[in-house]
A and B are shown apart, each in its own frame.
Chain A
Amino acid sequence: MNPNQHPYPVKAEARKLNFFYGLVQALKAIDMPLYERQVTALIGPSGCGKSTFLRCFNRMHDLYPGNRYEGEIVFHPDNTNLLSTEVDPIEVRMRIGMVFQKPNPFPKSIFENVAYGLRVRGERNRRVLDDKVEQSLKDAALWNEVKDRLKDMAFNLSGGQQQRLCIARALATDPELLLFDEPTSALDPIATASIEELMHDLKKRVTILIVTHNMQQAARISDHTAYMYLGDLIEFGKTDEIFIKPRDKRTEDYITGRLS
């Protein structure tokens, strides 16, 4: 658990993080690092707080009244607590992207979906937009399928294509950290495989935190894995170690229950 053992610098780190939906405590004193340009997987039974934890990083909980954070998520290189009231959640979301469980393309053309983040940031230059949209679609392995129909509405794409479009949309603004909440749970195995492959390439430049219910997926794509249970972080470590010889009995039960 000592971050210094790892060759990778820490990108973000939760420290004594508590989270409350009104009076209900959903996260209990979580301490956990995210290593830079590594994939960290969050696993655990339904309702254990994976999404809640993930959504703390881009301050998504601020959208609803009554939610409360305690503790810190320190973000590097700024060395700043993302949860501080002096931090602007919009600035946070400009640097931390998110991909949701269900693809949620905007009611716009394919091009405008990818250009959305740049436009929100005030980018008007057509050349810059064109280049960035093309690059992002390529990075999301979607360019070849859509290059001739950039003006089509995004809804006309298949589910897997829509999810890759959402990834392209998130990539277009060069996020430093990407949050994925069960990004493949609504997709078929082929679309899932293409997105897993994509993540493998992406981690060369962004840090990734992914929630997944699929143990094989966690084992395949992640470098580190965190097992959560009832709002507690039970175990965190290198994925190999967690899957081969978990230290905690509960982790072992969960993993073997699912894998066998």
Chain B
Amino acid sequence: MTENSVTDNSWGGPAGRVSPRLAKNALRNWRERLIEGLLFCMAAVSVLTTLGIVYVLVKESIIFFQHVRIVDFLTDTRWTPLFDDAHYGILVLISGTLVSSAVALAVAIPVGTIIAIYLSEFATARVREVAKPILEVLGGIPTIVFGYFALMVVTPLLQRVLPELPGFSLLSAGLVMGVMIVPYVSSLSEDAMRAVPMSLREGAYAMGSTRLQVALKVVVPAATSGLAASYILGISRAVGETMIVAVAAGMQPNLTFNPMEPAATITSFIVQVALGDLPHGSIGYLTIFAAGLTLLLITLTLNVIGLWMRKKYREHY
């Protein structure tokens, strides 16, 4: 463009006062700011709460580790913080947590996935309408109810098949915990599979696949990242679950990998101490912060793995 054409442009002259129809709207501006501020405050509250929890856990754990060496905490094979001969081997509680979670996941992941595949790929709309609310109700039952169900119904039933099963066991608690987690896994997995576009299914059907082949060979692989996320959520629920193990697994610390034995988990130990009459600030009381920090680190690791899996298996459709 030449210089001429710019000056010739009748629209390009110096601007006068801002016309009222284009002027800034002070009131709208102010309202937007206010709403933005409110939203920010709410987000800040949840972040601050989390930070507060981490702060307390870390601060109290530091005091704890001034009395107990970290090496002992990580390698000792006894957990007897309330005895005169006190030992603080967190492995004992981790073993209980791992075994009960493993039992629970051995139930929840296969059953949850199968339900999800059925609901997403096979069920008619009518069946889905009935089944989904039922699953949601299952997910809404308070865990204490599951705990007593394990103790009073499942354990006696299991004892008929396994006579040597004690009254409290990781097996019984884990199985019921698995049932409790099924709806979480199935609901998220189903969402992931239903998000797979129809064009992919049509492509598979057009190749002469059966319904089952479409579901297993195409839909499930396409939904990998969502399935992984649902499993990670299931694992987090299992590791953090408290009432079922506190009620049905017994609370005696026990370094074991046998689900047929009673044992304490990290969470059930925390309940035990928090409800007991240990003086605040005593070393026994401080153990719950160290145990809590351990739990936090485990779930944090799981979440990081989950994020990483999500990135790695990101859906490409």
Check if B221 sits within 8 Å of A93, measured CB to CB. Answer: no
Check if B206 sits within 8 Å of A116, measured CB to CB. Answer: no
Choose, from A14-22, A30-38, A100-108, A217-225, the stretch at the interface: A100-108
Q: Is A69 in the interface zone, CB < 8 Å from B? A: no
The contact of A100 among B199, B209, B224, by CB within 8 Å, is B199
The contact of B208 among A63, A102, A104, A117, by CB within 8 Å, is A117
Q: Is B202 in the interface zone, CB < 8 Å from A? A: yes
Most B Cβ at <10 Å: residue of A104, A116, A121:
A104
Q: Once bound together, how far apart are the Cα atoms of A152 and B222, in whole Å?
A: 15
Check if B202 sits within 8 Å of A60, measured CB to CB. Answer: yes
Q: Once bound together, how far apart are the Cα atoms of A116 and B221, in whole Å?
A: 13
Q: Is A166 in the interface zone, CB < 8 Å from B? A: yes
Q: Interface 1/0s, chain A 98-120, versus B by CB < 8 A?
A: 10101011111000000011011
In the complex formed, the residue of A with least CB distance to B209 is: A120
Report A-chain residues with C-beta under 8 Å of the C-beta of B275: none
Q: Is B7 in the interface zone, CB < 8 Å from A? A: no
In the complex formed, the residue of B with least CB distance to A93 is: B208
B296 → chain A closest CB, angstroms: 35
Check if B204 sits within 8 Å of A106, measured CB to CB. Answer: yes
Q: Is A173 in the interface zone, CB < 8 Å from B? A: yes
In the complex formed, the residue of B with least CB distance to A94 is: B208
B255 → chain A closest CB, angstroms: 43
Q: Once bound together, how far apart are the Cα atoms of A63 and B205, in whole Å?
A: 9
Q: Is B203 in the interface zone, CB < 8 Å from A? A: yes
Check if B206 sits within 8 Å of A106, measured CB to CB. Answer: no
The contact of B213 among A60, A98, A105, A120, by CB within 8 Å, is A120
Q: Is B217 in the interface zone, CB < 8 Å from A? A: yes
Check if A120 sits within 8 Å of B221, measured CB to CB. Answer: no
B280 → chain A closest CB, angstroms: 54
Check if B221 sits within 8 Å of A98, measured CB to CB. Answer: no
Given known A104-B199, A107-B222, contact A121–B205 (CB-CB < 8 A): no
The contact of B210 among A90, A105, A117, A155, by CB within 8 Å, is A90
In the complex formed, the residue of A with least CB distance to B198 is: A63
Given known A94-B208, A107-B316, A120-B213, contact A100–B203 (CB-CB < 8 A): yes
Report B-chain residues with C-beta under 8 Å of the C-beta of A212: none
Most B Cβ at <10 Å: residue of A93, A107, A155, A170:
A107
Given known A63-B202, A100-B202, A166-B203, contact A106–B209 (CB-CB < 8 A): no
Q: Which residues of A contact B (CB under 8 A)?
A: 58, 60, 63, 90-91, 93-94, 97-98, 100, 102, 104-108, 116-117, 119-121, 153, 155, 166, 169-170, 173
What are 11 contact pairs spanning A and B, CB under 8 A? A63-B202, A104-B199, A104-B317, A106-B217, A107-B200, A107-B221, A107-B222, A116-B207, A120-B208, A153-B316, A173-B207
The 5 closest A-B pairs by CB, nearest first: A155-B316, A94-B208, A98-B206, A104-B203, A93-B208
